C-alpha cells in the first residue's frame, strides 16, 4: 500500500516503477525521467509555442482580447459599415443609413450636433474648473484670479468654458431657427419640438446661473437685474400685481426662493453654483436623451423631403411619396 | 463720431458673441432663402406640369435612376460630424487664446454698475422693461414666449413645407417667426447691447456715453390725454382699449385668414385659431407699445390700482 502511494506521488504515467531493490530506486528513476521529459519538452514545445505566439500577434484582430472588444469584422462590406454604427453605444444614436441628401450641410446646418458637442466641452471644462472653485463669498473671486494667473492652463480653461457657453446659446437659437424654417416641428415631431423648447430654456438658465459664479461686478449686477424681475411676478412677487394682497414680502416671495435671501449674496452664490453644476445639467441631460431618442423614433431627421404640392395636401391624407423616391 | 466708444462696445468680450451673431444670422438666412427659393421654383414647375410631377424626384438636388437613395452613416455622416467637431474645437481654441473672458472688480453691492446690463441673451427682455412694467417684461412675456413656442406645432395646421425649405407654402408662419426672432428678439438684443448706455438712455452707435446726461422726458398716460382723471374711469378706459385691441385685432386676423388663407382657416379648430390669434396679437402688441412710447411718449394705456399696462 505505501508503494502505491509513493508511485502515485511520482506520477503514474511512468511504466518502469516497480524496481526489485524497493520503492526508493523507483522514485529516483521516475524523477529523473520526468525531468528529462520536461527538459525535452522545453526544448521542443516552447519554441513551437513561441512561434505560435508570434504568428498570432501578426494578426491582432484574431486575439481573444480584440474580438471581445470589437464584436464584428472590419472589412469594407456594407454589413460591417452598418454594424460599426449599430454595435457602438456612442454611435448607435444614428441609423445605419440615411437619406443621401441629409448629409448636405445646407439642410441641417449641423447646429443640433454642434450644440451637443459644445455641451460636452462645457461639461469637461466645467468639471476641471470645479477642482479650483469654492462657491463661497470669501473664495470665489480669488479662485478665479488664481485660475487666471497661477493654475497651469487655467486661463484658457476658463476662456473656453465662457466662449463655449456663448456659442452654445447661439447654436441652440440657430438650431431652432432651422427646425422652424424646414417645418420639422410638424407631425409627427410636435412633442420633440416641445422638448427642444425646454432645452432652449435650460440652456439659457445654465448660462445665466454660471454668470454669477466669478462673483465679480459683471455677474453680480447682471444677476441682480435679472432676479429683480422676479420681484414683479404676478401673485408670487412682493412688487407684482396682487402680490402684496397675497401677503408677499421681500422675505417670502419667489425671488427670496431663487436667491436664498433678499439680496444677491452668499446663499445666491451657492444656489447658483448648485443649479449650474448639478441641478440643471441633470435635467438638461435627461431631456437631451429624450430629444435624441425621439428624433430617431419620430422617423429620423425630417428631410430633405420631396416637396409636396398644394393639391396633394388638399386630398385626404396619403403618404406624399414622389415617383423617384 | 466717437470711434473709440464704438470700439469699446464692440470689443467688450461679452459683446463679441453678438457681433458674431449678426453675420452668422445673415449667412444662415441667406442659406435658407436660397434653398427656399429653389424649392419654390421647383414647386411652381411641378404644379404647372402634372406629368413632370409624377416622374420628378422632387428635390432641387440632382438624382439619377440607379443612384442609392440612402447612404451609410459610416463614413458619410460620421466624417462630417468629426470634421465639425474639429472645426468647432479649433474656433473655440483660437477664440479662447485671443480673447479673455471678462472679469470685473469683485462684486460690490454698494457700487452700482452703470449701465447694469443682463447677460446679452436676456437684453431683449431688459429692453422691454423700458416699455412695460417688470411683471410684463420680466415674467409674463418670457412665459408667453415659451408657451407660444411650445404651442406652435399644435396651432400650425398647414401640412405643407415639412422637411424642406419653402416660403410660398408657409408665408404666414415663416413671416411671423422671422418677425418674432429676427426683428423682436435679435434686434432688441442689438439695441440693448450697442445703443443703450448709462441710465439705459439711447445713444446712437458712435455717440459718446455721457454719464451725466439727463433727459427730461414727459411721459403721459393715455387716459390723461383724453382727460380722464378718476381711477375708476382710467381702469374702465384702459380695459376698453386693451380689450378693444384684442377684439379688433382678432377680427382683423379672422378676416385675413378667411380671405387669404381659407384652407388653413378651414383646418383650424376654434381653440387653435383663437390661441393663434391671441399669441400673435400679443406679439404685435410689443412693437405697438414701443411705437406709442417712442413716438408719442405714452407710458401706460391701462391704469389700475394693482397693475399698469
pLDDT digits (tens, 9 = 90+) for B135-192: 888 888 999 999 999 999 999 988 898 899 999 999 999 999 999 999 899 999 999 9
Residue A89, domain member (yes or no): no
Residue A114, domain member (yes or no): yes
pLDDT tens per residue, range A163-209: 999 999 999 999 999 999 999 999 899 999 999 999 999 999 999 99
Query: Would you place residue A12 in the very low, low, confident or very high pLDDT band (cuts 50, 70, 90)?
Result: very low
Q: pLDDT at position A7, please? A: 46
Q: Please, which residues have CB within 8 angstroms of residue B94's CB and are 6 or more apart in sequence?
A: none
The residue written with cell numbers 385685432 in the block is: B249
A28 and A143, same structural domain?
Answer: no
- Across chain A, the runs of DSSP E, i.e. the strands, are 97-99
| Cβ within 8 Å of B, A 2-41 | none
Q: What is the pTM of this model?
A: 0.88
A279 and A143, same structural domain?
Answer: yes
A296 and A180, same structural domain?
Answer: yes
Q: What's the domain count of chain A?
A: 2
Nearest to B302 by CA among B246, B235, B245, B249: B235
Q: pLDDT at position A24, please? A: 62
A215 and A124, same structural domain?
Answer: yes
Residue A54, domain member (yes or no): yes
Say yes or no to pLDDT of A321 above 60: no
A111 and A21, same structural domain?
Answer: no
A251 and A184, same structural domain?
Answer: yes
| Mean pLDDT across B64-85 | 89
Q: Does A97 touch chain B (CB under 8 A)?
A: yes
Say yes or no to pLDDT of A18 above 60: no
Q: Does B235 touch chain A (CB under 8 A)?
A: no
Q: Does A261 touch chain B (CB under 8 A)?
A: no
Higher pLDDT among residues B307 and A7, named by residue: B307
A130 and A25, same structural domain?
Answer: no
Say yes or no to pLDDT of A5 above 60: no
CATH number at residue A142: 1.20.810.10
A142 and A43, same structural domain?
Answer: no
Look over chain B and give the mean of its residue pLDDT values, rounded to a whole number: 89
Nearest to B138 by CA among A264, A234, A209, A256: A234
The residue written with cell numbers 417684461 in the block is: B137
Are B188 and B128 in contact by the 8 Å Cβ rule? The answer is yes
Residue A193, domain member (yes or no): yes
Are B252 and B246 in contact by the 8 Å Cβ rule? The answer is no
Residue A210, domain member (yes or no): yes
A118 and A28, same structural domain?
Answer: no
Q: Which residue of A has its CA nearest to B59?
A: A306
Q: pLDDT at position A277, please? A: 96
A290 and A172, same structural domain?
Answer: yes
CA dihedral of B86, B88, B93, B94, whole degrees rounded to 10: 110
Q: How far is CA A75 from the centre of its chain?
A: 28
> Which residue pairs from A258-265 have beta carbons closer than 8 angstroms and sit at least 24 positions apart in sequence?
A258/A227, A258/A230, A259/A227, A263/B109, A264/A212, A264/A220, A264/A223, A264/A224, A264/A227, A264/B107, A264/B109, A265/A137
Residue A319, domain member (yes or no): no
Q: Which of A114, A207, A303 minimises the CB distance to B164?
A: A303
Q: pLDDT at position A13, please? A: 46
Q: Show the domain range for A34.
A: 2-58
Q: What number of C-beta contacts closer than 8 Å exist between A and B? A: 304
| Mean pLDDT across A45-54 | 91
The rounded distance, in Å, linking the Cα atoms of A137 and B112 is: 18
A52 and A119, same structural domain?
Answer: no
A153 and A48, same structural domain?
Answer: no
Residue B70: list chain A partners with CB under 8 A: 97-100
3-state secondary structure of A99: strand
Query: Would you place residue A241 in the very low, low, confident or very high pLDDT band (cuts 50, 70, 90)?
Result: confident
Query: Would you place residue A23 in the very low, low, confident or very high pLDDT band (cuts 50, 70, 90)?
Result: low
Q: How far is CA B238 from the centre of its chain?
A: 27
Query: Would you place residue A324 in the very low, low, confident or very high pLDDT band (cuts 50, 70, 90)?
Result: very low
Are A91 and B77 in contact by the 8 Å Cβ rule? The answer is no
Say yes or no to pLDDT of A89 above 90: no
Q: Does A244 touch chain B (CB under 8 A)?
A: no
Q: How many CA atoms lie within 13 A of A298 on its CB side?
A: 20
Residue B307: list chain A partners with CB under 8 A: 234, 241-242
| Mean pLDDT across A132-142 | 94
Higher pLDDT among residues A160 and A231, named by residue: A160
Q: What is the DSSP letter of A14?
A: -
Residue A177, domain member (yes or no): yes
Amino acid at each position: 500500500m505505501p508503494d502505491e502511494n509513493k508511485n502515485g506521488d511520482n506520477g503514474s504515467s511512468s511504466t518502469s516503477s516497480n524496481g526489485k531493490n524497493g520503492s526508493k530506486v523507483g522514485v529516483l528513476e521516475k524523477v529523473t525521467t520526468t525531468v528529462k521529459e520536461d527538459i525535452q519538452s522545453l526544448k521542443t514545445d516552447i519554441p513551437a509555442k513561441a512561434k505560435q505566439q508570434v504568428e498570432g500577434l501578426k494578426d491582432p484582430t484574431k486575439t481573444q482580447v480584440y474580438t471581445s472588444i470589437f464584436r464584428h469584422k472590419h472589412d469594407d462590406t456594407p454589413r460591417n459599415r452598418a454594424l460599426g454604427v449599430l454595435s457602438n453605444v456612442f454611435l448607435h444614436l444614428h441609423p445605419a443609413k440615411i437619406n443621401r441628401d441629409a448629409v448636405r450641410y445646407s439642410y441641417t446646418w449641423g447646429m443640433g450636433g454642434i450644440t451637443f458637442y459644445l455641451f460636452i466641452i462645457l461639461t469637461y471644462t466645467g468639471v476641471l474648473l470645479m477642482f479650483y472653485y469654492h462657491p463661497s463669498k470669501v473664495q470665489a473671486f480669488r479662485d478665479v484670479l488664481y485660475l487666471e494667473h497661477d493654475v497651469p492652463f487655467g486661463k484658457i480653461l476658463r476662456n473656453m468654458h465662457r466662449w463655449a457657453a456663448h456659442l452654445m446659446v447661439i447654436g441652440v437659437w440657430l438650431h431652432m431657427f432651422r427646425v422652424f424654417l424646414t417645418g420639422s416641428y410638424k407631425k409627427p415631431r410636435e412633442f420633440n419640438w416641445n422638448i427642444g423648447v425646454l432645452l432652449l430654456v435650460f440652456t439659457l438658465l445654465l448660462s445665466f446661473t454660471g454668470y454669477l459664479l466669478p462673483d465679480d461686478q459683471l455677474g453680480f449686477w447682471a444677476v441682480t437685474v435679472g432676479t429683480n424681475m422676479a420681484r414683479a411676478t404676478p401673485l408670487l412677487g412682493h412688487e407684482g400685481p396682487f402680490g402684496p394682497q397675497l401677503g408677499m414680502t421681500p422675505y417670502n416671495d419667489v425671488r427670496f426662493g431663487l436667491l436664498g435671501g433678499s439680496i444677491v449674496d452668499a446663499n445666491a452664490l451657492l444656489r447658483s453654483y448648485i443649479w449650474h453644476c448639478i441641478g440643471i445639467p441633470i435635467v438638461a441631460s435627461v431631456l437631451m436623451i429624450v430629444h435624441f431618442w425621439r428624433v430617431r423614433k419620430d422617423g429620423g431627421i425630417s428631410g430633405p423631403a420631396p416637396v409636396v404640392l398644394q393639391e396633394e395636401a388638399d386630398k385626404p391624407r396619403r403618404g406624399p411619396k414622389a415617383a423617384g423616391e | 463720431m466717437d470711434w473709440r466708444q464704438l470700439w469699446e462696445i464692440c470689443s467688450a468680450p461679452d459683446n463679441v458673441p453678438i457681433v458674431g451673431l449678426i453675420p452668422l444670422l445673415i449667412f444662415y438666412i441667406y442659406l435658407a432663402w436660397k434653398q427656399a427659393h429653389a424649392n419654390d421654383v421647383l414647386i411652381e414647375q411641378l404644379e404647372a406640369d402634372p406629368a413632370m410631377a409624377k416622374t420628378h424626384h422632387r428635390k432641387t438636388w440632382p438624382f439619377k435612376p440607379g443612384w442609392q437613395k440612402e447612404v451609410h452613416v459610416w463614413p458619410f455622416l460620421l466624417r462630417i460630424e468629426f470634421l465639425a467637431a474639429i472645426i468647432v474645437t479649433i474656433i473655440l481654441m483660437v477664440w479662447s487664446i485671443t480673447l479673455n473672458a471678462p472679469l470685473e472688480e469683485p462684486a460690490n453691492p454698494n457700487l452700482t454698475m452703470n449701465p447694469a446690463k443682463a447677460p446679452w441673451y436676456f437684453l431683449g427682455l431688459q429692453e422691454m422693461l423700458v416699455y412695460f412694467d417688470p411683471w410684463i417684461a420680466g415674467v409674463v412675456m418670457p412665459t408667453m414666449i415659451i408657451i407660444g413656442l411650445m404651442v406652435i406645432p399644435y396651432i400650425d395646421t398647414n401640412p405643407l413645407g415639412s422637411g424642406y425649405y419653402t416660403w410660398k407654402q408657409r408665408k404666414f408662419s415663416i413671416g411671423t417667426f422671422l418677425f418674432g426672432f429676427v426683428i423682436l428678439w435679435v434686434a432688441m438684443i442689438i439695441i440693448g447691447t450697442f445703443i443703450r448706455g448709462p441710465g439705459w438712455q439711447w445713444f446712437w452707435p458712435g455717440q459718446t456715453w455721457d454719464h451725466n446726461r439727463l433727459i427730461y422726458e414727459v411721459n403721459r398716460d393715455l387716459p390723461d390725454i383724453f382727460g380722464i382723471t378718476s381711477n375708476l374711469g382710467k381702469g374702465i378706459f384702459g380695459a376698453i382699449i386693451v380689450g378693444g385691441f384684442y377684439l379688433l385685432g382678432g377680427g382683423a386676423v379672422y378676416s385675413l385668414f378667411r380671405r387669404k388663407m381659407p384652407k388653413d382657416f378651414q383646418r383650424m379648430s376654434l381653440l387653435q385659431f383663437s390661441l393663434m390669434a391671441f399669441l400673435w396679437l400679443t406679439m404685435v402688441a410689443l412693437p405697438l407699445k414701443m411705437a406709442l412710447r417712442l413716438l408719442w411718449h405714452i407710458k401706460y394705456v391701462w391704469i389700475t390700482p394693482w397693475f399698469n399696462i
